[in-house]
Structure 1
Amino acid sequence: MTDHTVRVLDDGDATELTATDGQNLRDLLLDAGFEVYAPAAKAANCGGRGICATCGVRVHTDDDAAPAADHWHDKLAARYGYPRLSCQLSVTEPLVVELIEKRYWGQLLPR
Structure 2
Amino acid sequence: MAEDEVSVTVRTGEYETTLRVERGRRLRDALLEAGVDVYGPVSRVANCGGRGLCGTCGVRFEGTDGNRDAAETAAPEPTHWHDRAAERFGYPRLSCQVTVEEPLTVRVPEKVMWGQLWPGRDD
TM, length-normalised to structure 1: 0.94
What RMSD in Å do the two structures reach over aligned CA positions? 1.3
1: CA distance between counterparts of 2:10 and 2:103? 11
1: CA distance between counterparts of 2:111 and 2:63? 23
Kindly provide the amino acid, as one letter, of the partner of residue 109 in structure 2: I
How many Å apart are 1:61 and its aligned residue? 5.3
Kindly provide the amino acid, as one letter, of the partner of residue 98 in structure 1: R
Q: What is the SS of the residue equivalent to 1:40?
A: coil
4+ residue runs over 2 A deviation:
60-64
Structure-1 residue corresponding to 2:103: 94
Once the two structures are superposed, the pairs formed by residues 62-81 of structure 1 within 5 Å of their partners are: 64=71, 65=73, 66-81=75-90
Structure 1 residue runs of 5 or longer lacking an equivalent are: none
TM, length-normalised to structure 2: 0.86
How many Å apart are 1:49 and its aligned residue? 0.1
| Identity %, equivalent residues | 50
Structure 2 residue runs of 5 or longer lacking an equivalent are: 65-69
Kindly provide the amino acid, as one letter, of the partner of residue 103 in structure 2: P
How many Å apart are 1:10 and its aligned residue? 1.0
**Superimposed CA distance per residue, residues 22-43 of structure 1 (whole angstroms, 9 cap, x where no aligned partner):** 1110000000001000010011
Count of residue pairs brought into register by the alignment: 111
How many Å apart are 1:99 and its aligned residue? 0.7
